[in-house]
Structure 1
């Protein structure tokens, strides 16, 4: 080969090496092409790498010393640490070229040489001190990350550049986006997550402002609340609700991608779905207080004020569960208890009373049950006897039926699923007796509609209802109310609407829960004749309880009060038109004398106004329930004391000339 050919080959080789180096800086070549030019550009970037022997950087994983321009460790492929590097310097052009050991004519010659090399690539060489902060970056409207001017999409979330979209209508679009700078290199791009929603990597002087912007971002607070539910941090949820956030807001597919936890988040899920999925009961109660039951405002039931006592009451209820031996091996509670609101609420000031009832009651359910035609409190005579019913606020997580019954008996929610477990066990162990009653009732109801279900259909429906009882959070049906009446060993009276409406007021279907459920498979002597009372509205059960008559309450601690000293409330067994309430799961012979069946299982009486009513005995409260109510009342008593003046009224001296103590007028 001639000398001229050898010189030409060496010139082409050097040219290709420099082009490979520039392409590596522009992000158009792989890591292998970057290593080709490490020897050529090691001196140019000596000031931007951590100190080490010959300017090499040491891998944090395997301690192997790599060349300065290596983006990954040659041995273990770990990314190069960014500590000590200014990742916001634009390293394409003069900012990456002058080295500390070049000065004067040598530096100028080196810059001119590289500038000539850049011309074929159509990359302009910026001034020697150009940096990222000197460029006019565009801020992403979705995640607020500041991107390089020529990028067509956000480096973090993938949203389009609005300036590029506007310019596309005027000028043709570029064939390819601008090459990413080292600030957007592969090593600095991490999977999109919650920390990227309000901005990506920022310069140190922008970190504080960007962090403050995140805290004030409603979307960022919303995603933090979602993470708070998963991680059990109620403070994030409270912060979201405190800023006026909607507890019914649902996750979008884009937000699920930002959270980057597919195993925990799904599109369309709300905070309530997450709280149920991860069993965050406290967070769920706070959310349901905002979106269901009692409407807006905080709910403060006695079990919330005294959670330790409420938990002790639930343990006490669980200890009272027994199993009956014999032909009907069902579970039952060994004691009878009826919850009522204490009479001391009448001693509170009117404003405090209004606050108490707004935080305790379900006003929406109360209005629905008292609307025309009224289901409760329609008899002025019974209301005068202290039998006005109040709908307690209840959770709506699918367990509202056992919760309402536990509230009506003990004043607490069935958080431990004690009643639900007893219900499922009863349907499995006492299936024979319950299935026969249920099957005969279903055939009778279908016969009225000129329909005859077959045996396979009935068995399939029974299996579905029995399985629903075993899954907490699953809605329950009429059969479950009937079975729970046997677990409680007492009648259950349900006052409910005839039609269930949607939130738009559209009729969704008929509701057939209203009526009386009797423990017909027990012996009457084994059961109590004092019923529990529930309300049913919009697919939701609520406990209906009266206020006990005002009397000295010191005797309620004593469990051996005489029977004649027990207070009573009266529950109507007819509707406002005088029609007898339906009695569910009766046979054809029993339906012929429904009123006689009611009198056999209930303490029924007829008032002076001719209203057939059942006597509900307000049993002596257990000690734990009495203590819980006392702590709950003390909260409102303290509020009442704060509304009064700190000093007693000043007394006038005996010898005052302006007033007389003997004959003060009303005005005085």
Structure 2
């Protein structure tokens, strides 16, 4: 009964807490020796002790003393009456009812709206039934001091003519946009007659400039990552729109609108990264990097005009220039490392940007949606990327330089040496000339999609065309893929001894998460997405990957579950190609595994029944691991699951398989030599010409070394 009657008041948010609480339930502030509020008067409850734990000090009028959190030296008088509850003031922003003595709103920290007289305290009403008569407090001394201090401070602030931010009197430049301080007369006139620009809506203005009249304006809060596009680039829109009335007459807003309409998502990410360097927001820079943006990109005149901060941004500036100007040492180290890494790599799509764009348009044009119940998207062209055989004609020094720039040496070493996943068979790698090379790939979250396009067309999924197709196929054929996924996951959990069953609601939640990953650029993808990609390509996908997740100390954390064969099982076999592509998986990163063109097949593949002509190059991809165990086939139904013989029969139906002299089951990847897609062939030739030009220099240096040895 005592705990229900007596409460203590928090000194900061004035929340009434139970006496057993050590911290305030609302703001988590520690309990102080403040007053105790009683719901009923002591005289009406003779059995209730008014101060069982502590008797708070009383003033002459009988009210408790409460120390003001803003000024510890000035006490404020507290009147514990029901009239005070009736006189609560409502916040203009969140409509929360606050105690009369609260300076700011407990919920949103908005300042209290000003009354008719700053020094007047709320009048208390007469005594209510069952309550002690209210004691009038003529003046709240702490409230009077704070109000007078805010009034004097607010009059001394000067308003920026560019962004309307209120700065302290001693500052010579605006702390938000670095605009110089105007004279006193102009500042006063602007403070009295400044109106918000039409480009800033009411919600942004209330959040940025302060929500109550007379409140001090605050700098705009940084937009959260993951919001929509307009909120994500709010700082750029505010900088472009916050102009004074004089500047509105000089700037052509039609041109600014045209510039914004021409901006793509990558352009907005770049501008947001530039603003992030200036403001010290590393997340904005990381978002631009993860989208595959060029670190060496320069600001154009239109972009500088859109940013509207001449003191910070200049035409031709890159992120590195901005990091140097504003002394962002942490960002500068990251940016320089990224620039050096990109400069050290040179893949065909980087050398020929014009042809790369044409190939992207060609891919978009070759995507079609199948009519019928299974309305999945598919590619109409069969393209397989291979390294040209002309590389072997280059001098050894030039070949080494080429492989350093086009291959990922770390991935190649991990797949070959640390865990023998590729090139472990001497028969395939040497006699059949089917050695696989791991192409260098971006470290963004789109590495799976990039590796698929690298293995087929030799380019990245920079415009997210393949990701959008993946998302649309998953949604349009959700029932078909969901049935396969659910059946496969149930079988997989039981085969590993995980005897559990999920409710249908839980299955639906997991499936919704898989669908959401497909629609988020930069989000990591799973096995289900590889299965869908096999249907989009209309060809099998073989993933050679490490079997275990490992920590940085080399400790095994769990299975990766990516290695295996992904077949387009929901298509008819006659609608698909039997020539697979190969991908490599290492510690959360996918890489395209491609072969090099070979010139002939004399005495190769004896007993394999190749049946190929001279214009087709064949790469033999093993369907077993280094322990000669058959690779897993993902997403099989209950009727398709069986023993190893049944799975081998299924592989022979969907792939062009052969058995080598050593008794190894392998799939044949066929690609037209010299007659691949014309755009891809032209891109590879231009890339190879770059190394052919340095061939005379290498030959000259080799000749000089030979002369030195003769002498």
1:458 positional shift: 1.0
1:490 and 2:539 correspond: yes
1:326 positional shift: 1.6
1:590 and 2:645 correspond: no
Unaligned runs of 5+ in 1: 1-28, 34-59, 63-69, 79-226, 237-254, 553-561, 650-666
1:382 positional shift: 0.5
1:232 positional shift: 8.9
1:455 and 2:501 correspond: no
2:379/2:536 contact within 8 Å kept: yes
Q: Distance in 1 between matches of 2:444 and 2:268?
A: 19
Q: Distance in 1 between matches of 2:155 and 2:472?
A: 68
Q: 1:600 aligns with which of 650, 653, 658?
A: 653
Q: How does 1:47-126 map to 2 (within 5 A)?
A: 76=189
Q: Distance in 1 between matches of 2:340 and 2:635?
A: 32
Q: How does 1:266-281 map to 2 (within 5 A)?
A: 266=281, 269=283, 271-276=285-290, 280=294
Q: 1:322 aligns with which of 336, 357, 368?
A: 368
1:493/1:533 contact within 8 Å kept: yes
Gap change, CA 1:348 and 1:435, over 3 Å in 2 = same
Q: Distance in 2 between matches of 1:566 and 1:32?
A: 83
1:568 and 2:618 correspond: yes
2:423/2:436 contact within 8 Å kept: yes
Cross-structure match for 1:579: 629
> What SS is found at the alignment partner of 1:381?
helix
Q: Distance in 2 between matches of 1:317 and 1:228?
A: 25
* Residues matched between the structures, number: 410
Gap change, CA 1:360 and 1:648, over 3 Å in 2 = closer
Cross-structure match for 2:459: 412
Q: Distance in 2 between matches of 1:365 and 1:293?
A: 20
Q: How does 1:245-644 map to 2 (within 5 A)?
A: 261=279, 265-266=280-281, 269=283, 271-276=285-290, 280=294, 298-384=344-430, 385-448=432-495, 449-550=498-599, 565-592=615-642, 593-619=646-672, 620-644=675-699
Cross-structure match for 2:313: none
Q: Distance in 2 between matches of 1:230 and 1:293?
A: 15
TM-score normalized with structure 2 length: 0.52
1:404/1:534 contact within 8 Å kept: yes
1:644 positional shift: 3.3
Task: Report the more deviating stretch, 304-313 or 637-646.
Answer: 637-646
1:645 positional shift: 3.3
Query: For 1:304-323, what per-residue CA distance to the aligned partner results, in whole angstroms no more than 9, with x for missing partners?
Result: 01111111111111110011
1:294/1:361 contact within 8 Å kept: no
1:418 positional shift: 1.6
> What SS is found at the alignment partner of 2:668?
strand
Gap change, CA 1:456 and 1:596, over 3 Å in 2 = same
1:443/1:453 contact within 8 Å kept: no
Query: For 1:618-657, what per-residue CA distance to the aligned partner results, in whole angstroms no more than 9, with x for missing partners?
Result: 13311111111111011011111223339999xxxxxxxx
2:289/2:444 contact within 8 Å kept: no
Q: Distance in 1 between matches of 2:688 and 2:523?
A: 34
> What SS is found at the alignment partner of 1:582?
coil
> What SS is found at the alignment partner of 1:505?
coil
Q: Distance in 2 between matches of 1:377 and 1:288?
A: 35
Greater Rg over alpha carbons, structure? 1
1:551 positional shift: 6.7
> What SS is found at the alignment partner of 1:509?
strand
Cross-structure match for 2:135: none
Cross-structure match for 1:219: none
Q: Distance in 1 between matches of 2:455 and 2:334?
A: 20
2:659/2:665 contact within 8 Å kept: yes
Q: Distance in 1 between matches of 2:664 and 2:454?
A: 27
1:404/1:541 contact within 8 Å kept: yes
Gap change, CA 1:349 and 1:74, over 3 Å in 2 = closer
1:232/1:280 contact within 8 Å kept: no
Query: For 1:366-406, what per-residue CA distance to the aligned partner results, in whole angstroms no more than 9, with x for missing partners?
Result: 11111244000011010121100000001121111111000
1:502/1:538 contact within 8 Å kept: no
2:534/2:566 contact within 8 Å kept: yes
1:303 positional shift: 0.4
2:453/2:459 contact within 8 Å kept: yes
Gap change, CA 1:61 and 1:466, over 3 Å in 2 = closer
Q: Distance in 1 between matches of 2:355 and 2:456?
A: 15
Q: How does 1:226-241 map to 2 (within 5 A)?
A: 230-231=270-271
Q: Distance in 2 between matches of 1:580 and 1:521?
A: 22
> What SS is found at the alignment partner of 1:371?
helix
Query: For 1:156-199, what per-residue CA distance to the aligned partner results, in whole angstroms no more than 9, with x for missing partners?
Result: xxxxxxxxxxxxxxxxxxxxxxxxxxxxxxxxxxxxxxxxxxxx
> What SS is found at the alignment partner of 2:620?
strand
Let me know the Cα RMSD of the aligned residues: 4.0
1:507 positional shift: 3.7
Unaligned runs of 5+ in 2: 1-151, 157-179, 192-266, 298-317, 321-332, 602-611, 705-709
Q: Distance in 2 between matches of 1:285 and 1:609?
A: 56
Cross-structure match for 1:145: none
Gap change, CA 1:292 and 1:504, over 3 Å in 2 = farther
